[in-house]
Amino acid sequence: MEDEWVPAGIDPTKAHPSRRYNYWLGGKDNFAVDRESAEVVASAWPTVGLSARENRKFLKRVVGYLAGEAGIHQFFDIGTGLPSAGNVHEVAQAIEPTSRIVYVDNDPVVLVHARALLNSHPAGRTAYIEADLREPDKILANADLRETLDLSRPAALMLVATMHFVTDDHDPHGIVSRLVSALAPGSYLVMTHATSEHLTPEQYAENEEANARSGVPFRLRTREEFARFFDGLELLPPGITSVVDWRPDVPPEDRPSVEDVSMLCALARVP
For 167, list phi and psi in degrees, rounded to 5. Answer: -80, 165
pLDDT > 50? residue 4: no
Distance (Å) of CA 184 to CA 102, 163, 215: 16, 22, 37
Burial class (CB in 10 A: 0-12, 13-18, 19+), 87: buried
Distance (Å) of CA 52 to CA 58, 168, 233, 260: 10, 23, 26, 11
Per-residue confidence at 82, pLDDT binned at 50, 70, 90? confident
Q: What is the pLDDT of residues 93-108, one digit of tens each?
A: 999 999 999 999 998 8
**Can you give the pLDDT at residue 2?**
44
Percent of the chain scoring above 90 in pLDDT = 81
Please tell me whether residue 58 adopts helix, strand or coil conformation: helix
Cα 179 to chain centroid, rounded: 15
Q: Which amino acid is at 6?
A: V
Report the chain's mean pLDDT, rounded to a whole number: 93
pLDDT > 50? residue 232: yes
Burial class (CB in 10 A: 0-12, 13-18, 19+), 201: exposed
Q: What is the pLDDT of residues 54-73, one digit of tens each?
A: 999 999 999 999 999 999 99
Average pLDDT of the residues in 124-147: 97
Residue pair 83/113 in contact (Cβ under 8 Å)? The answer is: yes
**Ordered domains of the chain (ranges, CATH):** 47-269 (3.40.50.150)
pLDDT > 50? residue 241: yes
